[in-house]
Copies of this chain bind each other. A is one copy, B any other.
Amino acid sequence: MDTWMRFMSSDGGIVFGRVEGGYLHEYASLDHPVPTGAVLSTRALTPLAPCAPGKIIALWNNYHALAAKLDKPVPTHPLFLLKPAGSVIGSGEPIRRPLSYAGKIVYEGELGIVIGRRCRDASVEEASAAIFGYTLVNDVTAADLLNENPHFAQWARAKGFDTFCCIGPSIVSGFDWRQGRLVTLLDGVERQNYPLDDMVFSPAEQVSLLSQDLTLEPGDVIACGTSVGVGSIKDGATVSITIDGIGTLSNTLTAVQAATQTAATIAAV
């Protein structure tokens, strides 16, 4: 197993590589993983989300335990929505409550698959070889928006807000997901603790079936869906998601002050 991370250096540049004993061994890129020869102390670097996906494919209803609890049949093909690239943040970055939304915000701890090679119409074997490694995802949702309109389920809107896709802290290649459990703590209290081998579609099956729908690109992330124990995050609360062998993804929900937000808006527009 190797651990891969992405950082911002003090000059604003982005570096990616293998982390070992407090050092980053830099590699050219995720889809061209050859060492550059540079070795940097991680102490001088700011961690980022471990990849910069062009798209995030988020599965719904991919665990037997959750399907049973929801009393829904398990699907015959992955059911998914897309989260935009702009929704991604890394571990330690704040989840920002949208200015326009005062309702319930929900965490979902999930295994994330990181794609290493372009694939389309891939067999399960080809799909398996196209997986670069595994990470953690908090698939955040503005739950009250989902069914606010009775004629159209607003999956993309409810899950697509800026900062609503927490990914990190690292990507682990060679990780045996079958042995893993995912644990979610909300302000230190355990809320989710489920075995990954309860998945309906295995990671390689997901990649194979999804690659029949749309071309997967290096760096793309598939959030494998969550299981039981989903709940709401109060403003100021911290969600920490752990899979032993991958690490802990930790993010706090913050309500941005309107005054600050207005200044940011003017700068941005």
The answer to whether B212 and A100 touch across the interface, beta carbons within 8 angstroms, is yes
The answer to whether A154 and B79 touch across the interface, beta carbons within 8 angstroms, is yes
The answer to whether A268 and B152 touch across the interface, beta carbons within 8 angstroms, is no
CB-contacts of A187-209 with B (<8 A): none
Tell which of A84, A117, A122, A162 has the most Cβ of chain B within 10 Å: A84
User: CB-CB < 8 A to A130: which residues of B?
Assistant: 269
Bound Cα distance from A27 to B43, whole angstroms: 42
What mask results when residues 70 to 99 of chain A are scored 1 for a CB within 8 Å of chain B, else 0? Answer: 001101000111111111000000000011
The answer to whether B55 and A152 touch across the interface, beta carbons within 8 angstroms, is no
User: CB-CB < 8 A to A122: which residues of B?
Assistant: 265, 269
Interface size on A, residues (CB 8 A): 51
User: CB-CB < 8 A to A261: which residues of B?
Assistant: 121
Q: Does A243 contact B (CB under 8 A)?
A: no
Question: Which of A12-20, A213-221, A226-234, A247-255 lines the interface with chain B?
Answer: A213-221
Q: Does A104 contact B (CB under 8 A)?
A: no
Bound Cα distance from A72 to B151, whole angstroms: 8
Bound Cα distance from A265 to B208, whole angstroms: 12
Number of copies: 2
The answer to whether B117 and A157 touch across the interface, beta carbons within 8 angstroms, is no
The answer to whether B268 and A119 touch across the interface, beta carbons within 8 angstroms, is yes
The answer to whether A86 and B212 touch across the interface, beta carbons within 8 angstroms, is no
User: CB-CB < 8 A to A154: which residues of B?
Assistant: 79-80
Instruction: Report the minimum CB–CB distance from A268 to chain B (whole Å).
Output: 5
Q: Which residue of B lies closest to A142 (CB)?
A: B213
Instruction: Report the minimum CB–CB distance from A73 to chain B (whole Å).
Output: 8
Q: Does A160 contact B (CB under 8 A)?
A: yes
Q: Does A3 contact B (CB under 8 A)?
A: no
The answer to whether B80 and A157 touch across the interface, beta carbons within 8 angstroms, is yes
CB-contacts of A57-81 with B (<8 A): 57, 60-61, 72-73, 75, 79-81
Tell me which of B149, B212, B269 contacts A126 (CB under 8 A).
Answer: B269
Bound Cα distance from A265 to B215, whole angstroms: 10
Q: Which residue of B lies closest to A213 (CB)?
A: B157
Tell me which of B86, B129, B155 contacts A214 (CB under 8 A).
Answer: B86
Q: Which residues of A contact B (CB under 8 A)?
A: 54-55, 57, 60-61, 72-73, 75, 79-87, 98-100, 117-122, 126, 129-130, 149, 151-157, 160-162, 212-215, 217, 261-262, 264-265, 268-269
